Amino acid sequence: ETGVTQTPRHLVMGMTNKKSLKCEQHLGHNAMYWYKQSAKKPLELMFVYSLEERVENNSVPSRFSPECPNSSHLFLHLHTLQPEDSALYLCASSQGLAGGPGELFFGEGSRLTVL
């Protein structure tokens, strides 16, 4: 069982659809993240949850709505997306360390295509 599991791995949706991406971490970490990876762009941080509270929200359009019901699960709800939202969405988790930020553990990503 991998440390961070994302489903679905691939998703194709129309601009009027509503769908959700799911992430589950089995590492006992206290922080979870959503990143967006587009072609030829650096990884973009979308949201961070620490102890189930959202602590970072980097000017992400409201058509992306995160949800963190507990420290092991993270969702990204999608609605009325645009074709430019097509990307690889990566979930990650980490554990804060006494000596500074812990490393991120990533899932394999959900490849989203918006038609």
Cβ-based nearer residue to other proteins, 11 or 48? 48
104 binds other proteins (CB under 8 A): yes
Cβ-based nearer residue to other proteins, 16 or 99? 99
Choices 11-19, 62-70, 73-81, 103-111 (CB under 8 A): range interacting with other proteins: 103-111
1 binds other proteins (CB under 8 A): no
47 binds other proteins (CB under 8 A): no
- Which CA distances in Å does 8 have to 25, 54, 55, 64, 115? 15, 23, 25, 16, 17
Instruction: Please state whether the peptide bond connecting residue 8 to the residue before it is cis, i.e. omega within 30 degrees of 0.
Output: yes
Report yes or no: 61 and 41 within 8 Å, Cβ to Cβ.
no
Q: Are strands 87-94 and 105-106 parallel, antiparallel or unpaired?
A: antiparallel
As measured in angstroms, the least distance from the Cβ of 105 to other proteins is: 7
Binding footprint of other proteins on the chain (CB under 8 A)? 2, 4, 31, 33, 40-43, 45, 48, 50, 55-56, 58, 88, 90, 92, 94, 96, 99-109, 111
